[in-house]
Structure 1
């Protein structure tokens, strides 16, 4: 996880296209400027970054389901619950499941767990659009390979 560049996911652990589910790992860094202000003497991962981690897991699942042909953008959070503090150094598992896919939008059920305990969950709406630029498409495909959503030489 690189908070400053919004690279929230480190590796995709499982991707099941038939079940439309994904589980990704996200290692919260032990130190980051984010923790200097959130909060001095009691550093915890900001809820907005937990939400972004879930949105990225949902996004990579959608890209895998669409063979990386479209770019998902976070459109809405119907619900978002933060159930426990996440401290620096934590290992998170980001879970995403596609609940509905169609007409340019997708509804995703997402959650984060730490040591088997749920720390956050959200129901997200994602908008699927053509890639707005070749540079973004190239970057996203490269990140998909790094994470394991796109194996070299394999089409999802």
Structure 2
């Protein structure tokens, strides 16, 4: 996890496009400039970054559903609940499950757990559209490979 670059996950552990399910892992860094202000003396992962971490996991599901040919963009969140603090060094397990897809939008149900305990959950909406620049598709595919997605081998 590289917070400053919005590289929110470390690995894609389960990539089951047919089942509409993705699982990822993210280890919160021990040190980050984010924690200098949130909060001095008591570093806590900002809730909005927990939401973004769920968004990235859902994004992989959307990318896979569209064979990495279209790009998902965050469009909304409902029923967001943050139950516990996430501290530096914690390892988060994130899941995304497809609820609905249609008319260029997708909805997913998402959870974050640490040591099996529910930390956060949300229902996310994403808009899926063509890549806005010609260099972006390969950059997204390369990031997916770095996170462990075997492109062309998803089920």
TM-score by length of 1: 0.95
Verify: 1:75 aligned to 2:78, yes or no. Answer: no
Equivalent residue, structure 2, for 1:9: 9
Deviations 1:73-131 (A, max 9, x none): 00001221110000000000110001001110001101100010010011000000001
Gaps of 5+ in 2: none
Task: Say whether the 8 Å CA contact 1:67–1:155 is kept in structure 2.
Answer: no
Gaps of 5+ in 1: none
Deviations 1:31-81 (A, max 9, x none): 111111111111110001000000000001110111101000000012211
* Paired residues, number: 154
Supply the distance in 1 between the matched residues of 2:20 and 2:27 (Cα, whole angstroms): 23
Superposed displacement of residue 155, structure 1: 5.0
Equivalent residue, structure 2, for 1:86: 86
Could you say what the CA RMSD is over the residues aligned between the two structures, in angstroms?
1.0
Q: 1:1-156 maps to which residues of 2 (within 5 A)? A: 1-149=1-149, 151=150, 154=152, 156=154
Structure 1: 4+ residue segments shifted above 2 A: none
Supply the distance in 2 between the matched residues of 1:145 and 1:59 (Cα, whole angstroms): 14
Supply the distance in 2 between the matched residues of 1:38 and 1:142 (Cα, whole angstroms): 31
Superposed displacement of residue 18, structure 1: 2.1
TM-score by length of 2: 0.96
Task: Say whether the 8 Å CA contact 1:93–1:113 is kept in structure 2.
Answer: yes
